[in-house]
Structure formats: structure tokens, C-alpha cells
Chains A and B, each alone.
Chain A
Amino acid sequence: MKLLRFMAVALSGWFLAGAAQAADPVNVYSIWPENYARPMFQEFEKATGIKVNFIRFSSGEALARVIAEKNNPRIDVLFGGPVETFAAGIKEGIFQPYKSPSFAKLPARFKQADGQWTAIADDPLVFMTNAAFLKGKNLKAPASWDDLLDPAYKNQLQMADARTSGTAVTRIFSVLEVNKRDEEKAFAYLKKLRQSVQLYTKSGGGGTLPVGLGQAGGGIFFIVDALETKAKGYDVVISFPKEGIGTSAEAIALIKGAKNPEGGKKLIDFATSAAMQSKLSEHKVNFVPANPDVKTDPALAEVLKGANIFPIDDEYAGANRKRIVDRWVKEVLGPQ
């Protein structure tokens, strides 16, 4: 009997899911983790009365799905995620250019010239180390890229795999910039760094929990994930290399062929404006706002104070990404 009722519910569910939804809710794939995205969508619903249906995927998965669904898009907006994911999407022709009211006032690196994507936040990389690990090895928090080559770090670091993670790509381009784009020097460093790496993880934040728990000594992560680890109560130390480290913009884009483009545009207007980005600090989501009208949260600003952070050059990264990642896979990743 119960089974029958379940089946009835499920069958009606199929029909509902199959039929086109009424215009109202906006359908979204979020690359931001749910705990960052959910409060933002709740704020949007509060402000506009429009509900957001969303599901979270890592950047590669989200992009693969949007490409697979190209002929019959299931969503209206791709939300969050590093711009290099969006750059790959442009090549596949999956976005509908749209310029929100905030578009004009954003600096050039926070938008695609045609409006294919717009940045909603900025996310610098940091070094994050386990405090107990530092104490046990009698080390100071790493303050230079070369510090990570110290034998004390051998087999101790976890960081992301460049095949899946935008975090890793930003990290590799940081090393290139620090080495004045001299690829030979940069790869010589990356190969040496390999000796310190215990594991390359699938997702950018994959190593944060192991570092928090002391399974790993440290790693290189986006600041939003590092501060979240700290907020959870794990005793970790955040530091920056004196040579500088890269930052990556987080973007939003309208999907070509979206079933609810008007709702999608409203969400983009909201996400790129001060209305949403001023709520980031309130919800303890430690992205740096992209909109110049929004002040960075004081606590976050304190962490960033004095740090040498540079943006990754979009054009250079876009033109060389595939080649550099391929080279990294071939020369650095494999069995050593």
C-alpha cells in the first residue's frame, strides 16, 4: 500500500519535472558550495520574491553538464566558480551575453568585454598550515614559496589537482608570475614542490579538512575555504608568500536558451550589485567583494593586510591554460 502511494507520488513527480515550469523560479547550477550559496539565494528571494532552485556541482562537473544540455538547457544561470571555467564555456557557446547595471563600474578584470560573464567576487590564494604541525616541527608559518621546499614539509602538503580544480590552475599561474613567466624556472620549482606534496585533491578545498585534522601539514587554498576551516574550529594558520600569490575572480553568467531569461537577469543584477555582495560578510562568506561600492569585511581585510596579492592575467592564462596544465600533468603530477 505504502509502495503504491510512493509510486503515485513519484509518477506525478515525473510529470511535474517533465513539464515546463511556470516562469517564476530561477534554475541555477551553483559552483559555490551550498553553505555559501544558500544564504545568497535566500537574500535574493527576500529582495525580489523570486525563488531559486539550485543544485551544487564542482566547476568541471557543472560545465560538463551545461555543455551536455546545450540543446535543451535545464538552467538559467551558472553561479559562482572561477572565471577560467567561464572562459572554457565561452568557447562552447553556452552563454548569453548580458550586462547588468553594475557592469560599467566594474574594473576590466571583473568582466568579459561582451558581457558573457561578470564577476561577483574575488578570491585570493593563501598558504594554510596546521598549527600543531608547525609547533611539532618547530617551524614558522611559511612566508615564501621556497619555505614549502623545506624537508620538514616532505610528503606533508595537500593541494588541488590542476585537471579538475580552478584553485590549482590559479596556483600554477601564481608560480609562473612569481618566476616572471619563465616556464623552465617555474616548472623546476613545481617539480621540487612535488616532493612536499602528499596528495593532489580533486576539488580546491579537498585538502582543508585533512590539514585541519593534522592528516596533512598544510597546503595552498582559496582564502574563503581557509577561513571556513578556521571558523569550524580547526587550529590552522593562514599566511602569504612575500613573493606574492594570485587571486581569481568568481563569476556569474546567463545560459543561452534559458527558459526564464528574465528571472536569470534579475539574479545577475542582484549578484553583481552591492545588494548581494554587502551580505557576504553578514553570512561569514569570506569572498572579497568585486563590486567597488562594497567594503571588504574588516576581519577579512585584517587577514589580507600587507599581503602581496596580484590578479592572474586573464588573456595570458586563457591563451596558455591548456598547454600549461598538460605540461603539469606530464612533468609534475605523474609517479615520481
Chain B
Amino acid sequence: MAARGLAAETRRMLRDPALLGAVVVLWLLLGLFVLYPLAELLVRAFSDEGRFTLEPLLGSLADSHHRAAFVNSLILGGTVGVLGTVLGFLFAMTATRAGLGRHWLTLLDAAALLPLVSPPFTTSIAIVFSFGPKGFISHDLLGLDNVSAYGFWSTALAETLTYFPIAYLTLRPIIAAIDPNLEEMAFSLGGSRWRIFRTVTLPLAVPGFANAFLLLFAASLADFATPLILAGNNFPVLPTQAYLQITGMFDFKGGAVLSLMLLVPAAAVYLLQRYWVGRRVYVTVTGKVGQRSRSRAIAPWAAVLLVVATVLVAVAILYFYALLLYASLVVAFGANNSFTWQHYHVIFTEGLPAIRDTLIIALIGMPLGGFYGVLVGYLIARRRFPGRQAMEIVSMINYALPGTIVGIAYLIAFNDPPLALTGGALIIVACYIFRYSPTGIRATVALLQQIDRSLEEASASLGAGSGQTFRRVTLPLIAPAFFAGLGVVFIRSMTAISATIFLVSLSWTLITVRILENMTELALGPAAAFSVFVIVVVFVVVSGLSALLMRLRTPMAGAAARSLLGG
């Protein structure tokens, strides 16, 4: 049975040149930029002078410090996954159901997107300044002495604030796409608001929850910058340990083994999500979009509560970033608080090469990453071909692996001819595309799960080939996911550091690497100025994308554009 299914799938694929071409090209790319570096890394980890050995793995497992780090990573990932999803849902509900005006929505979006568009350690630094032993809040405001800003809760808080916008971005289009008429119908049939929320709204949002949790869990598992600054010494986590093992102890083997331990939980969450979400059907878009009636599904008091809670979080975030802006405009933060433009002058003179390189790399990676994400997501969600599940898993690998490991693997794999790519820009672009497009892939899959297959089947039965159907029917429907994926690749190209810190070279350097440099050089001013610059650029580009999306003619894209990118 299975064999016959496979044979049929293979036959169908061979008859469809567009599908065949896409699958072959994708596998070549995935092989080159995901599997090959990983294989090189595994060879490093499990061979000793040409012989296979498990010694490094067993040694790591026997080490109680490493086992503690493993457990801590799971606790942290789970906590951030849950808290971030809740926060993202809160923001998404407020944005789509609380009936806020346009300007309020824009403000809300701005606050929610700030953490996503800034270098990851900015939140950490702000938390240390606020809650540390002499923090503005802990010491100056509350008069506490000798508190510690390091440990589990501050790390979880920083990661939640940094990554919850992913949940927001994932959930908002999905909740926005839930036709309010459905809720309206339930309401007029006499359902209570709570019952409607429980039985209509929540179940329809389940694929979004699962995706959001998965993405947050994976992001937390792989994040090393935040724990590096905030986890302190009593709460070791795996990515940081792996990073220190490699950069500090010069121990490639140990670092590779530690990071491979991360793959196990990442794969487990992935499978859970697949089989939990997979069994439900979530079609609410059936070709004709219902008139957007104003939702009555939320009681006025609940709407007020939502808004108040959201605004509180937003204010906290804005406060953190006001601190950053302030640090970029004073001579020496905390010592000499007189106003200066000097730091901006520095980044536009000495820092100009980094700015130029980063922008070029981000602008090249953006369209490629967006298209790659939609293509893979579409193939996974809609097409049947041999190796589909394998492709889905392989496409997630670079996202789930800690960036340090991806960086080291690329460095090992692409240093020698014939694939000597290190030192150029291509390797950085490739790293970003294959590491950050899974957001676009997941968004595409989630969106397609809400769009009835019959639309494409109609196109096919009218004689359109798979390429034409994709272009004319599916692509417009999943345009929001395309722009979400493209946006994330751009944002990450501007802000990520963990993998690419190994890939920057004499000819191509990045702003984020400069920021970290500046921090170790005590130059907090330029670091803050760079951060502010990054945030401004990303905001401008994301707003531009949003405007572009609004001009697309499909009603679905227009509506989702508003919901996805804000304003």
C-alpha cells in the first residue's frame, strides 16, 4: 500500500515538470546548505583520527553540569514558549477583536515589533540596567539592595519579550482570518461569549498556537546571546555551554555534541505539533470572504481588560527602548549624561563599512528567503511527492540548531576548495536564508491549512498546470505569508549574530558584530547608536512592505497585510 502510494507519487511528480524541477532544486540547495555542513560537523564530532567514536557523547552525558544545562534548556524553552504564546495571543486578540482605532493599533504594533527588530542582547542589557543591583527600577525606584539580575526568571523574561512578537505575527493573521461571521452566527444561535471563545475562536486558532509555541521553543533553545548575558552561573543552558565549549575550550567535539543534544527536544516538539494539529480541519476561507462585520464576540469589559494588559506590556517595552535611545545620545551612559551626537558620527564614519555590508546582505537575502519560504511551505502543505516529510524536517534543521553550531559547521564545510565560500557575502546570505526562512515556511503552511483545497482543484480541473495554479491561485492567497517570511529574513539579517559571527570576514562585516565589539570595548554609546539605527531601518522597510502589500489587489492580501504588518 505504502509502496504503491509512493510509486503513484513518483509517477505524478515525473509527469509534472514544474513540481519535479522545484523539488530537485530545493533538494540540491538543502543538501548543500543544510545537510552537507551538518555532516561535516558530525564527522568532526564522532571521529577520532579516522575512527568512529562515541566517547565525546558519552563523556558529555556523564557530566552532571551538562545534564543540568540540558534540563534547564527544556525548562526555559517551555516557559518562553508558553509565556510568549500567551502574550502573542493577548496582543493578537487586542489587535483584531478589541475594536481599537488605527492609530492605537499602529502604536501597539510598534511596541510589539521593537524587540523583534533589535539586536537580541538589547533587551538583556536594558533588564540589567533596570533590575540589576543598582538598577533604575530595583534600586532607584524600589530601594532594593543587592538584588541579582541573573538567573532563570530574568532570562525567561528577556527571551519572552524578545520572541513573543513571533507568536504575535503568527497568530494575528490567523485570528484575523477567522471570519467574524462565524462568531456572529454562534452568537445569534444563543451561545454565550465564553462558549463561543472556547468552541469557535480558540479551536480555530489552534494551528497558530502550535506554530507559535514551536517557533518560540525553538528560538529559545537556540538563543545564546540572552543567556550569555543574563543566565548567570547558576542557570547554565545548552547553547551557551556549547558556545563556550567551542570558543573557550577550543573543543569542537564537545561543542558539537552538546548542540546535537538540542536536536532531540526540537524534534520532539515538532512531532508533537504535527500530530496534534494535523488531525483537525481549519477551513474558514472558502473562496468568498465574508463581509467583515464588526465583532461582537468580546464583551466590552473583556475588551477593556485586554487593552489595559496589552498597554502595560507595551509601556514596559517602550521604556526599555527609551533607555537605549538615551544611551545613544549621552557622552558616557551613567558617568557623563550630557547630550551628544558623537556616537552617531562614529557609526557613520568608522562604522560605515559594516552598515553598507549589512544592508547589501539583507536586501539580497530578503526576496530569496521570502520566495524560498513560500515555495517550501506550499510544497509541504499542498503537494504529494516522495520525501515530502523529509524535506519538511530538513528545512527546519538550521533553524533548530543553535546559531553557533551552524556558523562553525559552515566555517568547516565552506573553507576549502571547491566550495571555498568563506570570506564572501554568499555564505552569509545563504546562512540567513536557510536559518530564518522556516518562519515563512510555517506561516505558509498555517495559512494554507485555512484555505480550502477546492480552489486549487478547480484551477487544476480547468486545465492549469501546477506552476500556473501556484502562480495565479495559491501565490496571491499566501502573499501575506510571503511577506512575513521575507520580512523575517530581512529583520534577522539586520539583527542576528550567533551564526554569522563566525562568517564575517575581512571583506564582509556586520552591524551586530560591531555592536558586540563595542560592548566589549566599553563603547556603549556607539553600540546603542548602531542599535537605534538598525531599529529605524527595519521599521522603515517593514512599513514599506506593508504599504506594498496593501496595494496588492486580492482582498485577502489587503486585509492580512493590515493585520500582519500593522497600520
Contact = CB atoms under 8 A, between A and B. Distances in A.
Contacts of A235: 335
Interface in A136-189: 154-156, 161, 163-165
A33 B336 contact: no
A88 interface: yes
A137 B544 CA distance: 54
Given A74-B423, A336-B234, A64 B246 contact: yes
Contact of A335 (B68, B425, B504): B68
A172 to B, nearest CB: 14
A221 to B, nearest CB: 11
Interface in A23-62: 27, 33-35, 53-56, 58, 60-61
B19 interface: no
A10 B522 contact: no
Contacts of A68: 408, 411-412, 415
B432 interface: no
A155 B408 contact: no
Contacts of B520: 33, 58, 203, 205-206
B128 to A, nearest CB: 6
Contact of B233 (A56, A200, A206): A200
B225 to A, nearest CB: 11
B250 A60 contact: yes
A334 B102 CA distance: 51
A75 to B, nearest CB: 7
B50 interface: no
Given A68-B415, A72-B415, A35 B521 contact: yes
Nearest to A206: B520
Given A10-B425, A68-B412, A164-B247, A232 B522 contact: yes
A228 B415 contact: no
Interface in B510-536: 517, 519-524
Contacts of B128: 210, 215
A232 B335 contact: yes
B501 interface: yes
B133 A198 contact: yes
Contact of A215 (B132, B249, B331, B411): B132
Interface string B122-166: 000000110011110000000000101110000000000000000
A64 B506 contact: no
Contact of B247 (A3, A6, A58, A325): A58
A87 to B, nearest CB: 11
A49 B521 CA distance: 28
Q: Which of A9, A197, A198 has the most CB of B within 10 A?
A: A198
B133 A13 contact: no
Chain A interface residue bracket vs B: 35 or more
B146 A163 contact: no
A173 to B, nearest CB: 16
A16 interface: yes
A261 to B, nearest CB: 17
A268 interface: no
A65 B502 contact: yes
Contacts of B202: none
Given A6-B360, A35-B521, A58-B520, A17 B425 contact: yes
Interface string A1-16: 0010011011001101
A199 B233 contact: yes
Given A198-B148, A199-B150, A156 B232 contact: no
Interface string B487-510: 000000000000001101111110
Chain B interface residue bracket vs A: 35 or more
Contacts of A248: none
Contacts, number: 173
Nearest to A205: B520
B150 A53 contact: no
Contacts of B521: 33-35, 205
Contacts of B129: 213, 215
B415 A61 contact: no
B487 to A, nearest CB: 15
Contact of B232 (A56, A69, A199): A199
A134 to B, nearest CB: 14
B256 to A, nearest CB: 12
Given A61-B501, A67-B250, A68-B411, A234 B506 contact: no
A233 B335 contact: yes
Contacts of A323: none
B424 A334 contact: no
B30 to A, nearest CB: 22
B248 interface: yes
A252 interface: no
A215 B420 contact: no
B75 to A, nearest CB: 14
B316 interface: no
A8 to B, nearest CB: 10
A176 to B, nearest CB: 19
B234 A14 contact: no
B424 A205 contact: no
Contacts of B524: 209
A5 to B, nearest CB: 10
Interface of B: 65, 68, 128-129, 132-135, 146, 148-150, 228, 232-236, 244-250, 252, 331-336, 359-361, 363-364, 367, 408, 411-412, 415-417, 420, 422-426, 501-502, 504-509, 517, 519-524
Given A17-B508, A18-B423, 14 more contacts: A17-B505, A33-B521, A34-B521, A55-B504, A55-B509, A71-B416, A92-B250, A155-B148, A163-B245, A202-B228, A202-B244, A208-B522, A214-B134, A334-B68
30 contacts: A6-B360, A6-B363, A13-B507, A14-B424, A18-B420, A33-B520, A34-B517, A35-B523, A53-B507, A56-B517, A61-B502, A64-B250, A71-B416, A74-B423, A75-B506, A156-B133, A163-B248, A164-B244, A198-B232, A202-B244, A205-B521, A206-B520, A212-B334, A212-B522, A214-B134, A215-B149, A232-B522, A234-B335, A333-B233, A334-B68
